[in-house]
Structure 1
Amino acid sequence: MKKARRVFSPEDRLSILEEAKREGQAFTCRKYNLSPSLVDRWKKKYLSQGIKGLQPSYHKVDPEKRALEEENARLRRIIANQALELEVKSELLKKTPIGPGKRS
């Protein structure tokens, strides 16, 4: 069974850090089933950046933006294929003799 990823808000992280300071880090880590290295990382970010450092470091991608980027990539591929096709056709036309003197 896969373990669900827990998401802590910045306020939750701050309260866990304060509790770890009061009650002890080992006790708090066991209580919330957290890795001590995770709490250390939160503490380091909090000390360097304040509450802003406790914000999640990932950013959600807007589904509409993702759809537009995929459409853009699809259209670029179509244009590249058409350009390649035109280039091949023009090369073939250059090599093919045109006129009444054509022999087989």
Structure 2
Amino acid sequence: MKRERRIFSPEDRLAIIQEGLREGTTVTCRKYNVSPSLYGKWKNKYLSRGTEGLKPAYHRVDPELRALEQENELLKRIIAKQALEIEVKSELLKKNPIQVKIRR
């Protein structure tokens, strides 16, 4: 029999923890088909960080932030290219100074 992965919202997790405190861990874990170790993890996170600890731990990257980072990288490459061009031109000018003739 294949086990289906269930996703509990932070509110569900909090309700299960509170019920476990009232009615007992074993009864609550059997009722919701949750392992006691998972219940313990949820409880420890709740006791240490409150309701923020029950929220999912993954972090999504904001699309606006990703676009700004890409733009920043592009601008850095442009500046590096321009700096290299300026350095090459200044080296060429040192080797072959341009003689400007002034007519009077």
With the length of structure 2 as denominator, give the TM-score of the two structures: 0.63
1:58 alignment partner, SS class: coil
C-alpha separation between the residues in 2 aligned to 1:97 and 1:41?
A: 74
**In the alignment, is residue 49 of structure 1 matched against residue 49 of structure 2?**
yes
Report the CA distance shift for 1:8/1:84 in structure 2 as closer, same or farther (over 3 A): farther
In structure 2, how many angstroms separate the alpha carbons of the residues matched to 1:48 and 1:59? 20
For 2:85, the equivalent position in structure 1 comes to: 85
The alpha-carbon distance between structure 1 residues 86 and 6, as it changes in their structure 2 partners (threshold 3 A), is farther
Please state whether the residue corresponding to 1:79 is helix, strand or coil.
Answer: helix
Unaligned runs of 5+ in 1: 100-104
Residue type at the aligned position of 2:33: K
2:63 maps to what in 1? 63
Q: Does the 8 Å CA contact 2:13/2:42 hold for their aligned counterparts? A: yes
Query: Counterpart of 1:31 in structure 2: which amino acid?
Result: N
> Percent of pairs identical after alignment?
59
Deviation at 1:72, TM superposition (A): 1.6
- Cα distance in 2, alignment partners of residues 94 and 5 from structure 1: 70
Question: For the aligned residues, what is the CA RMSD?
Answer: 3.2
Q: Residue 33 of structure 2 aligns to a residue in which SS?
A: helix
Decide which moves more: 71-80 or 58-67: 58-67
Higher Cα radius of gyration:
2
Q: Spell out, residue by residue over 1:24-82, the C-alpha distance to the aligned partner (whole angstroms, 9 max, x if none).
A: 18x44x924x682x433321111122222212233333212211221121111111111
Seen in structure 2, the aligned counterparts of structure 1 residues 5 and 87 have a Cα distance that, compared at 3 Å, is farther
The answer to whether the 8 A contact 2:17-2:43 is kept is: yes
Partner in structure 2 of residue 24 of structure 1: 26
